[in-house]
Structure 1
């Protein structure tokens, strides 16, 4: 699908991943090391160009891995002209993988009990998540951006631009290990994505 300068991968061409709340996303499990994540992602057809430092959290360094599908077109760039990545993993010191983000335009589709979380209009996902949270007896929470999220599920939806359209990009995390809330565990780099 083409939205001006933003190419959106068709749903049928996306990898299909499951999400286990506060445990893991697809092949990535919270707590794994960056090397374990790279190995798991390579087995799924993703490559990691480098492990970089993403900042510090108290006394711990925060590392970042950026993954893209091996067969993704090389011309696929983000709005800043950098090669677009599909999945980003963030690691905090000895706690390992603490946060995963999945790109709205090109990332894998992540399913939570049949709910498609990635690449959807934010209002559609908010409506579906509200019903799910109510049905499962969890509290409905509204993010500062006005979307529906959940500490109990470890999900924080964000809107990502695709031309004149906004699509859901999700941040998955386990804040109880190192941050007070999902909002607190979102790395600074993530706030630069629009």
Structure 2
């Protein structure tokens, strides 16, 4: 029997992470080297794929490591980490179907209907006097918080996949931190 590519990991079976805007997502800290990220993820029960080059970012190589829970099917990518040359970890992507649940200030960010997350983020941004931003795909995101929600298919349902980034000397916005290959994901 073929595996179900749309299977969604139950909330109770997901690792529970927190988010510190522009600082870290769970055990992954922006600026980490690929080796540091691999050690941090292995300590949390994740296996890493091979570090691979995904492109150029200015004069620097852009690299990627894919992580999946130990024992999970090899085709699964629960978390993807992107690195840029000497800046280290610049972008972290958490899968909607199988990634850890990331919470921030009481808001569950992963694996939710996009409209629900947009409503929660809008209310929070308004309440705290932050700018409400519409992403290029029409979702609510925040440069100030370093998060860009994206919709990911789960069969006939859409769920939230979060892309976290931290601007730097070469990427002045979260949008700029997101690798081109990530925009092709859906």
TM-score (ref. length: structure 1) = 0.91
Corresponding residue for residue 56 of structure 1: 56
Corresponding residue for residue 99 of structure 1: 91
What whole-Å deviation, never above 9, does each CA across 1:44-76 have from its counterpart, x for those lacking one?
0001121000111000001100000002245xx
Corresponding residue for residue 153 of structure 1: 145
Corresponding residue for residue 114 of structure 2: 122
Corresponding residue for residue 28 of structure 2: 28
Distance 1:141 1:55 in 2: 28
Corresponding residue for residue 38 of structure 1: 38
Corresponding residue for residue 72 of structure 1: 72
**Aligned CA distance change for structure 1 residues 8 and 177 (closer, same or farther; 3 Å):** farther
Distance 1:136 1:181 in 2: 21
Give structure 1 stretches of 5+ with no counterpart.
75-82
Corresponding residue for residue 90 of structure 1: 82
Give structure 2 stretches of 5+ with no counterpart.
none
Corresponding residue for residue 127 of structure 2: 135
What whole-Å deviation, never above 9, does each CA across 1:134-160 have from its counterpart, x for those lacking one?
111111000011100000000000000
What whole-Å deviation, never above 9, does each CA across 1:77-103 have from its counterpart, x for those lacking one?
xxxxxx121000000000000000000
Distance 2:144 2:88 in 1: 20
Distance 2:53 2:44 in 1: 24
- Return structure 1 stretches of 4+ with deviation > 6 angstroms: none
TM-score (ref. length: structure 2) = 0.95
**Aligned CA distance change for structure 1 residues 34 and 169 (closer, same or farther; 3 Å):** same
